[in-house]
Structure 1
Amino acid sequence: MSQAETKRRTIVQQEKNMRSGTSHPGRQGRDELVPSRYAVRVGEIDVLVISDGMIWIPAEAMATNADPAVRAAWLDDRFLPQDELDWALNAFVVRSGGQTILIDSGLGGEYAGYPRAGQFVHRLEAAGVDFASVTDVVLTHMHFDHVGGLLVDGVKDRLRPDLRVHVSAAETRFWESPDFSRTAIPPEFVEVICRASRQFLNEYRSRIRTFEEESEVAPGVVVTRTGGHTPGHSVVRLASGGDRLMFAGDALLPASFDHPEWHNGFEHDPEEATRVRLRLMRELADTGSLLVSTHMPFPSVGHVAAAGNLFRWVPAWWDY
């Protein structure tokens, strides 16, 4: 093993140790050494980023069409491992016009193999958000790491009977009979994804409010179908006063800015997903809107800068 590889692995392990927290004798549970929520103000709209923790994906799944040497160099430049990657999970709470809206809900439960994920329920409670106060849910799409928080035992019973779940009609149609033929999803994920989507449709069908292309969920909160990642994948745009923010779901991923042409293995239409990425990044660069996204490192708040046809991610400075 090269000296550079040894150094990289050491740094990765150090970061994992810091993120995992430490236990102390005489205390119950775990002390979390990193923050799990972050507040943003968009005009008169309040936004709360909630970390559901971390899962992992095979590094190859990040860029299935990439030259392996180019992908390896990209990972090495960022001190990231070559075999598997930590993948952040972020969900969001939006308050506008008297409504409290969840945008996605993370993995939710403690799945085997993901000991650092499934934190959504208790972290939402720690942030002072009561499930009974939630008026609306917006799903960017129905992959298991976006609907799982609403499938945790007891959560549905704590939600309002008049809760509205907003999801594109194309998304619900797709999951009635899903097609994975154009994805490169690792086999171990496929059954988990299908099981979660079926369960969600069965449990929440009566509360689902579908839209075709676009819907205003609350004042200044608009959800729009983009397709690409899944047939009904959607983004949420917030606008209040002169402020703008986009929640991009899985349309924009950590490698999207350097290599928008890379196909993520979980994309059901990789070519369309690339077109969506480029279109959204151009919009964000032109408007100066804030961006938040599911799998960008927490708190995932930043801007997109452009130089010609090249883009870069500019994380926002933390506001204490």
Structure 2
Amino acid sequence: MKPDTIASPDTSGFEELVPSRYALRIGDIDVLVVSDGVLPLPTETMATNVDPAVRAEWFKDMFVGPDMFDWALNVLVLRSGDKTILVDAGLGGQFPGFPRAGQFPKRLQAAGIDLASVTDIIITHMHMDHVGGLLVEDVNRRLNPDVRIHVTATEIAFWQTPDFEQTAMPNPVPEVLRKTATQFIDAYADKIMAFDEECEVAPGVVAKLTGGHTPGHCVVHVASGGERLTFAGDALFPVGFDHPDWHNGFEHDPEESVRVRVRLLQQAAASGEYLVATHLPFPSVGRVAADGDAFRWVAAFWDF
């Protein structure tokens, strides 16, 4: 799987005005960012610990809102050696209120990637917009029966009795999250390979526990040939560069989430590595620059 191959024109019958995938290479590792679509969410969920007027002003300056905005959903496909690794699986199609999400299966097919070729799946955490795609019947059926799914042991334990006390989610969401996580564990129990602190899934591809957003949240570090990329999952949201201390309503431990976010941003700014995250606008490939006590997002120039 090489960038000039995985980014080739759509020949699958799924036609879109703009192909929602972007390929790059980190050393010898091929990376494909795939858009799973967007979720409409209330702007208030992006900053629950600040004055509403301050939050509204930030969204106005970003030409977004004022009440709702489209939250991007991105997943990764990595090829390292003989392994093809899917990082997260998007929302899936079982949530009728989000018709513009759940796009990754057809976009993967449009990129010429067969789900049966996926050897490993890394789940950053078990929120529905990260595991829901694996609950789509056609996806489950097409996966390799020997696929390995990597999730932190802490994440699995958390969803046995999840705690939503510190979250500020819309009312229906906690129960849907709980139900989806349970369905995922039940459906894939025999394929889950739980790990503690970190797991090298393939040469140069390491999943590492961070906690914060959920207690078992992990990020994925990709390193090869002196180049690096980190997939930050939900440790980072668009507002997090300007205001890393703003709490997100979906964070199960907001204070720890801030510490995780700042640490990741500091590391990315120091290393100059690429940073990709689930909810940054597609293709979500860029670098981080320090800017006093805050940070600045430097979008990568598209190479096409």
Shift of 1:79: 1.1
8 Å contact 2:94–2:136 — kept in the other structure? Answer: no
The residue identity in structure 2 corresponding to 1:39 is A
Shift of 1:110: 5.3
Any gaps of 5 or more consecutive residues in structure 2?
1-12
8 Å contact 1:52–1:89 — kept in the other structure? Answer: yes
Task: Report what 1:148 is aligned to.
Answer: 132
Task: Report what 1:25 is aligned to.
Answer: none
The residue identity in structure 1 corresponding to 2:150 is H
User: Structure 1: which 4+ aligned runs deviate by more than 3 Å?
Assistant: none
Task: Report what 1:277 is aligned to.
Answer: 261
Shift of 1:154: 2.3
Task: Report what 1:75 is aligned to.
Answer: 59
2:237 alignment partner, SS class: coil
Instruction: Say if 2:47 is the partner of 1:45.
Output: no
8 Å contact 1:228–1:270 — kept in the other structure? Answer: yes
Partner Cα separation in structure 2 for residue 57 and residue 71 of structure 1: 14
1:300 to 266, 275, 284: 284
1:40 alignment partner, SS class: strand
2:83 to 99, 102, 107: 99
Any gaps of 5 or more consecutive residues in structure 1?
1-28
1:176 alignment partner, SS class: coil
Task: Report what 2:72 is aligned to.
Answer: 88
Task: Report what 1:9 is aligned to.
Answer: none
- Map 1:148-187; keep pairs closer than 5 Å: 148-187=132-171
Partner Cα separation in structure 2 for residue 311 and residue 230 of structure 1: 23
Task: Report what 2:185 is aligned to.
Answer: 201
Same amino acid, percent of matched pairs: 62
Partner Cα separation in structure 1 for residue 65 and residue 199 of structure 2: 40
Q: Which of the pair has more CA radius of gyration?
A: 1
Partner Cα separation in structure 1 for residue 220 and residue 132 of structure 2: 19
8 Å contact 2:92–2:135 — kept in the other structure? Answer: yes
TM-score between both structures, scaled by the size of structure 1: 0.89
RMSD of the TM alignment (CA)?
Answer: 1.2
1:65 alignment partner, SS class: coil
8 Å contact 2:84–2:119 — kept in the other structure? Answer: yes
1:116 to 87, 90, 100: 100
Instruction: Say if 2:215 is the partner of 1:227.
Output: no
Cα–Cα, structure 1 residues 80 and 169, in superposed 2: closer, same or farther, change >3 Å? same
Partner Cα separation in structure 1 for residue 293 and residue 64 of structure 2: 26
Task: Report what 1:14 is aligned to.
Answer: none
8 Å contact 1:231–1:268 — kept in the other structure? Answer: yes
Mean Cα deviation higher: 280-289 or 155-164: 155-164
Shift of 1:307: 3.0
2:206 alignment partner, SS class: strand
Mean Cα deviation higher: 75-84 or 245-254: 75-84
Shift of 1:119: 0.7
Shift of 1:114: 1.2
Partner Cα separation in structure 1 for residue 171 and residue 19 of structure 2: 33
The residue identity in structure 2 corresponding to 1:108 is G
